[in-house]
Structure 1
Amino acid sequence: MEMKKEFIAKTTNLKVAIVHDWMFTRRGGERVLEQILNLFPQADFYYLFGKPGKVLHLKNKHLFISSFLSKIPFIEKIYKNLLPLLPIAIESFNLENYDLIISSSSCVAKGIIPPPLALHISYIHSPMRYAWDQEHRYFKYQPKLTRPFEILRRFFLNRIRIWDVTSAIRIDKLIANSQFVARRCQLYYGRSAEVVYPPVNIKYFNIIDQQNNIPQKRKVLLFGAWTPYKKMLQTLELLVANKIPVIAAGQGEEILKAKDKYGNRIEFFIDPHDEKIPGIYAQAHCLLFPAIEDFGIVPLEATAAGLWVVAPNQGGTKETVIDNVTGYTFPENSQESMIAAVKAALVKDISAEDKKNMALHVEKFSEEVFSQKMMKILLDCLNSKRVIE
């Protein structure tokens, strides 16, 4: 309580800008963004393009300011082809009148140009994946003389990597959403980052779970963003081939493909609203999270709802899943180990003691813990800042 009073006293009169990349769906990064915005009722919100009014659930009214790219028709369908323009767009924001700038970045938001006396704190969801460690997953064709477009693409990626590193110099304080992401910040930017785990509304899932009378079934839940690097579609096909009962939920082009193929055999929940998600968890016995993720809020939601979580023993889930306590882990590239872990989870009852252990574990990732840690970091930075006049 004392820290909150000090935080309010220290920040109320500051001119604050919050900067984000883009938003079309409400995923983990947007939930973090909401919590940051809620700390600053007076903050102005800058973003490249998207639909913040429809996506974000905010306590206060904020001034929304988008980049010139937001004027492009059908931007939500073509923005992935505009990567070379994103650094230009993010640097075009005029932030000269702000005292404190907080960027929420998984692509270019951290590259804003702050005024000399402002404090710039960047919360890194991930260094841009397509330019660094996942380039070859996003762009599968190797550059060849017979593929001049791929040569041009790799040239732009090289330029973007250079920009990405040099723009990190403009950050006063780096915050990473996991130890996994902090390691990548050190590797790519040569900068250390303090870890603050994303917030999970654990009370919401616990409360709904207690009121829900849907009988839990021995089914596997695949839930998240259905994009190629998350391996959801190929994992679904593997589960079906092994005759393992499955529920599929989430958003993305690949879940639509999956429904076309398996819609008469599997229950699908396409882009479910928040109020329906606890009920989806209640119908499964375990969650399967197949790919290495930067952090992964969904596994912690599932844990809060009382499910086993089956996930890789690398990346963010290495930090959020306790093997044989809250779930089962497996080596990422071993389909045999993954299926074995799923089968082990399906036959293991979830006792009252197991649910108690799950509840104790997820408490470390609550919204309250997130807010407390963010306020402490912000206060430390403001108290040690050279000058804010």
Structure 2
Amino acid sequence: MTALRCWGQGRRVAIVHDWLVVQGGAEKVLDALLEAFPQAEIFTLVDFLPAGQRGRIARHKVNTGLIQRLPMARRHYRHYLPWMPYAIEQFDLSEFDLIISSSHCVAKGVVTHPGQRHVCYCHTPMRYAWDMKEAYLNDASFPTPLEWYLRRVLKRLRQWDHFTASQVDHFIANSTNVAGRIRKYYRRDATVIHPPVDLESMSCHDGPRDDYYLAASRLVPYKRLDLIVEAFRADGKRRLKVVGDGPERKRLERLAGGARNIELLGFQPNEMLKHLMANAKGFVFAADEDFGILPLEAQACGTPVIAYGRGGARETVLGLEHGTAATGVFFDEQTCVALGEALERFESKAFDSSACREQADRFSRQRFWSGWLDLMHELDP
């Protein structure tokens, strides 16, 4: 990090982030970038991040867009999606030398000028406009006229998203999985630099563990917490703790149906989440995720993972075929039956907590910064 910070000295840096609402994986990447570029200003569409979650962000100037001032933006900022491309293009970045966009929606669409370098750290191409379009529309269950309108909106978003990719000087993908989607949708190559895991704040727990499984994420549909809750409710014996908050919480409470083996804990501060991870029997992850930093944080605590075998989990978890180096098991279908069978396989295997930690060590903050430094020297010797 020190070398990258030295490289950035004297350079005016802007970091463009889609929105600041909750602390998630993208915000952990933002935190690592702010540590490397302490002089950076932040540009974001809306900033409603609570004071207790701001961390390093609190030390930086945060510039918000016009959506921040629109009615009900705090709760319904996503409803302004059709206007987000216009809003992101209104930022004036003319005084900066280096623009870094941290993008999973529209951040990469900022307008830059000759003489500026724009590097996009792409968490994913806009999923609800591309590969998750049908799932997004099905989950929302809009009336037919509104669905027609939204299909038209999403088509225009795809066109804008594809066009603005040509204005990025260099793409960084958070995984090989995302690099493949960048190549498919944008026809651009990307350097893979995995997101950083804050290993220094996590200790590997190799002692006795409690008899519960842990699931944690933002409670949104594509994370598939509903599948996990349904599988544990049907089992009735294995204990499950769920950490997180979001629009799916009430639905998950209904699905749990008061089952005594399931606890929905809501949002928990980082220290409590780490404690729960370190003492869990296993971490359950059912999303087809772009990367997924939480399974790595679990492994950093020495906790093995039960994961859906698609997307980023295939890059972060070592399956049973790795023998004594295995750090988890996969299930190949997002069904209760497949998850139940994976839990059976998981419980028949003894996992080595040190192997889990060694796997997490491959995704350290130092490696993240080293990847950035190598790329910066390549682009601007």
Q: Could you say whether these structures have the same fold, taking a TM-score greater than 0.5 normalized by the shorter chain as the test?
A: yes
Of the candidates 265, 273, 277, which is equivalent to residue 277 of structure 1? Answer: 273
Counting only pairs closer than 5 Å after superposition, residues 31-42 of structure 1 correspond to structure 2 as: 31-42=28-39
The Cα of 1:32 is off from its aligned counterpart by 0.2
Of the candidates 44, 48, 58, which is equivalent to residue 47 of structure 1? Answer: 44
Corresponding residue number in structure 1 for 2:295:
299
Counting only pairs closer than 5 Å after superposition, residues 59-98 of structure 1 correspond to structure 2 as: 61-98=59-96
1:28 and 1:296 in contact (8 A); partners too:
yes
Corresponding residue number in structure 1 for 2:365:
367
Return the alpha-carbon distance in structure 2 between the equivalents of residues 218 and 345 of structure 1: 14
The Cα of 1:91 is off from its aligned counterpart by 0.4
Of the candidates 99, 103, 106, which is equivalent to residue 105 of structure 1? Answer: 103
Say how many residue pairs are matched: 372
Corresponding residue number in structure 2 for 1:173:
170
Corresponding residue number in structure 2 for 1:217:
210
Opposite residue 253 of structure 1, the aligned amino acid is: P
**TM-score (normalizing by structure 1):** 0.90
The Cα of 1:256 is off from its aligned counterpart by 3.8
Query: What fraction of aligned residue pairs are identical, expressed as a percent?
Result: 34
| Equivalent position SS for 1:248 | strand
Q: Relative to 1, partners in 2 of residues 1:115 and 1:274: Cα closer, same or farther, differing over 3 Å?
A: same
1:48 and 1:89 in contact (8 A); partners too:
yes
Matched, 1:231 2:224: yes
Opposite residue 241 of structure 1, the aligned amino acid is: A
The Cα of 1:337 is off from its aligned counterpart by 2.7
2:278 and 2:298 in contact (8 A); partners too:
no
Superposed CA deviations along residues 226-261 of structure 1, whole A, max 9, x for unmatched, are 211111023201221022321111121323443465
Superposed CA deviations along residues 180-209 of structure 1, whole A, max 9, x for unmatched, are 1100000000001111111111232216x4
Opposite residue 280 of structure 2, the aligned amino acid is: A
2:121 and 2:172 in contact (8 A); partners too:
yes
Corresponding residue number in structure 1 for 2:347:
346
**TM-score (normalizing by structure 2):** 0.92
Matched, 1:327 2:320: no
2:85 and 2:109 in contact (8 A); partners too:
yes
| Equivalent position SS for 2:93 | coil
More displaced stretch, 371-380 vs 292-301: 371-380
Corresponding residue number in structure 2 for 1:357:
355
Unaligned runs of 5+ in 2: 321-325
Corresponding residue number in structure 2 for 1:138:
136
| Equivalent position SS for 1:121 | strand
The Cα of 1:99 is off from its aligned counterpart by 0.7
Q: Relative to 1, partners in 2 of residues 1:302 and 1:10: Cα closer, same or farther, differing over 3 Å?
A: closer
Unaligned runs of 5+ in 1: 384-389
1:288 and 1:342 in contact (8 A); partners too:
no
The Cα of 1:356 is off from its aligned counterpart by 2.0
The Cα of 1:264 is off from its aligned counterpart by 6.3
Counting only pairs closer than 5 Å after superposition, residues 367-386 of structure 1 correspond to structure 2 as: 367-383=365-381
More displaced stretch, 219-228 vs 54-63: 54-63
Opposite residue 54 of structure 2, the aligned amino acid is: L
Corresponding residue number in structure 2 for 1:336:
337
Counting only pairs closer than 5 Å after superposition, residues 304-319 of structure 1 correspond to structure 2 as: 304-319=300-315
CA-based RMSD of the aligned residues comes to 2.2
Return the alpha-carbon distance in structure 1 between the equivalents of residues 83 and 178 of structure 2: 25
2:171 and 2:190 in contact (8 A); partners too:
yes
Return the alpha-carbon distance in structure 2 between the equivalents of residues 319 and 284 of structure 1: 22
Q: Relative to 1, partners in 2 of residues 1:29 and 1:79: Cα closer, same or farther, differing over 3 Å?
A: same
Corresponding residue number in structure 2 for 1:202:
199
